[in-house]
């Protein structure tokens, strides 16, 4: 966890995974943010299936493996590319894979 960003950053984009939570209706969510912006959430059940499975294991953030964190961030990136708001899509900066 990066103390400066208060979350997990990936090398593939500028998105930061902040953590898990529940929304007002009791649905499981993953929290993300972009540098210098507010946190936003994506429901995991159905939208982020691998992330939902990881969350259901009940691990704390400090117990997540690097592979699990990269999976969460990758699913978040993919979701934003396909279904994110206009603001989220314009804020997402994917880095080229060489």
- Please tell me the predicted confidence (pLDDT) of residue 97: 60
Could you tell me if residue 2 is inside a domain? no
Domains: count for the chain: 1
Looking at the domain assignment, is residue 19 inside a domain? yes
- What's the pLDDT score for residue 62? 85
Structure tokens at 44: 């995991």
pLDDT of 46 > 80? The answer is yes
Structural domain harbouring 13: 8-91
In a domain, 32, yes or no: yes
Q: Say whether pLDDT at 81 is over 90.
A: yes
What is this structure's pTM? 0.88
């Amino acid at each position: 966890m990066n103390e400066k960003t208060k979350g997990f950053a990936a090398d593939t984009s500028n998105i930061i995974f902040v953590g898990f939570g529940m929304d007002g209706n009791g649905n499981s969510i993953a929290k993300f943010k972009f540098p210098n912006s507010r946190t936003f959430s994506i429901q995991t059940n159905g939208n982020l299936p691998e992330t939902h499975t990881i969350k259901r294991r009940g691990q704390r953030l400090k117990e997540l493996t690097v592979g699990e964190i990269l999976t969460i961030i990758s699913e978040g990136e993919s979701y934003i590319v396909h279904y994110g708001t206009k603001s989220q899509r314009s804020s997402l900066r994917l880095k080229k894979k060489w």
